[in-house]
Amino acid sequence: MDPRIKCSYNQLLAYRDEEGRPWVLPVVREVEEEITSGQNLSHEYLGQLGLEELSSAATKLLLGNDNIALKQNRAFGVQTVGGTGALRVGADFLVKCAKLKIFYMADPCWPSHHLVFPYAGFAVCRIYRYWHSMKKCLDIEGLLEDLRDAPSGSVVILHVCAHNPTGIDPSKDQWERIADVMQENNLFPFFDCAYQGIASGDLEKDAWPVRYFASRGFELLCAQSFSKNMGLYSERVGNLTLVFKDPKVIPNVRSHITMMIRGNYCNPPRHGAGIATRILNDNRLIDDWKKQLKTISVRIKRMRWALRTKLQELGTPGNWDHITRQIGMFCYSGLNEQQVKYLIQEYHIYLPTAGRINICGLNDKNVEYVANAIRDAVLTFPPDRRM
């Protein structure tokens, strides 16, 4: 890291506290100490599908305890190696068993989507419009038009909440329109859920899109990650939730997925899964976890407002309202590549070229510095200027 840096390294993908330090959630620390100091500590292999107590609890967390698919035994989950592992297992299943070959991802989207699905065997990769660069909002009409043009049987990757990298999510009305088009065109939804509880601070609210699609009778997959919302980044705790129309297919699906995992990474890791399992199956620990998620969400929202307010107070050219319309850890700033390079070279503020800011890298000590730097970059390289 540049020794002259004056603000947190904004390319980081992880949550940071007000001092710019990694934050181990107190509930995670408590459970880990309990596990490692007890007599039941184990380093034995897990089975291919991982801890049943974890996958069951994670699936309920996503779909809700009263979900009709769960009650009818049409849904189940399998533990995976993080959220990326869940994406890959799901992609493998859709290619090898469902024989699907076309997938659509948002423009822009999380970079791993570009890799996971082609490597799993999807022959055709297409994009659907998502970010309206001029209006700095969701391009809902472009999105719907692209989905209407998608061939029947295409897989569509959807972010459940806190879309990465834009931080812009569809409203409930927009989700309903998306579901309408997908149902009409026989498109298969594959959700990516990495920020449940962090996006809004409410686990239930953040899961609404998946629950809505399930309530409409969609078959779907959802990759879940506990890296962000439990801070278990290095432990690779993930879950793949699968929802079908017919409960009779579940045994065959489970068998196929078991063999796929066996031929891939064989077993998911135990330690982080044990921590997540303990939290998700204890009401008192869940309550503590919810409070700590709220702490994360509130700090992120506060820093969004702080950055927007500073930019406006400084008279920075442009409209910066989109900063607070977005949610989650990341802000799609609207800065262009020239402006980003200027921030790196002149202010040692390190961003990806697309201008995504990790809001967690901001704090009361550096937000004014960052705002001043952005103002200078925008004045030096106005948006319509070219090299």
pLDDT in 10s for each residue of the chain, 387 residues:
444 444 444 446 778 888 888 899 999 999 999 999 977 788 999 999 999 999 999 999 999 999 999 999 999 999 999 999 999 999 999 999 999 999 999 999 988 888 999 999 999 999 999 999 899 999 999 999 999 999 999 999 999 999 999 999 999 999 999 999 999 999 999 999 999 999 999 999 999 999 999 999 999 999 999 999 999 999 999 999 999 999 999 999 999 999 999 999 999 999 999 999 999 999 999 999 999 999 999 999 999 999 999 999 999 999 999 999 999 999 999 999 999 999 999 999 988 888 999 999 999 999 999 999 999 999 999 986 443
Which residues are CB-contacts of 183 (< 8 A; sequence separation ≥ 6)? 216, 218
Q: Which residues contact 260 (CB under 8 A, 6 or more apart)?
A: 89, 92, 93, 96
Dist. CA 315–CA 309, nearest whole Å: 10
> 172 an active-site residue?
no
Q: Could you tell me which residues are beta bridge partners of residue 159?
A: 192
Residue 39's pLDDT is: 79
- Supply the pLDDT for residue 12: 64
**192 catalytically annotated:** yes
Query: Is 23 marked active-site?
Result: no
Q: List the structure tokens of 89.
A: 């297992």
Looking from the CA of 61 toward its CB, the CA atoms found within 13 Å total: 33
Task: Determine the residue type at 310.
Answer: K
Given the residues 23, 60, 92, 110, the one annotated as active site: 110
- 199 and 206 in contact (C-beta within 8 Å)? yes
**Which one from 60, 136, 228, 310 is the annotated catalytic residue?**
228
Listed residue (137, 131, 78, 122) closest to 257, CA to CA: 78
* The pLDDT of residue 22: 86
**Length reported for the chain:** 387
Strand 124-129 to 102-107 pairing: parallel
The alpha-helical segments, DSSP class H, found in the chain are: 26-37, 52-63, 68-71, 82-96, 112-120, 140-148, 172-184, 203-206, 208-215, 250-262, 271-280, 283-313, 322-325, 337-342, 367-380
Phi-psi map region of 20: left, alpha, beta (phi>0 left; psi -120 to 50 alpha): left
Q: How many CA atoms lie within 13 A of 123 on its CB side?
A: 5
Active-site choice (92, 146, 169, 192): 192
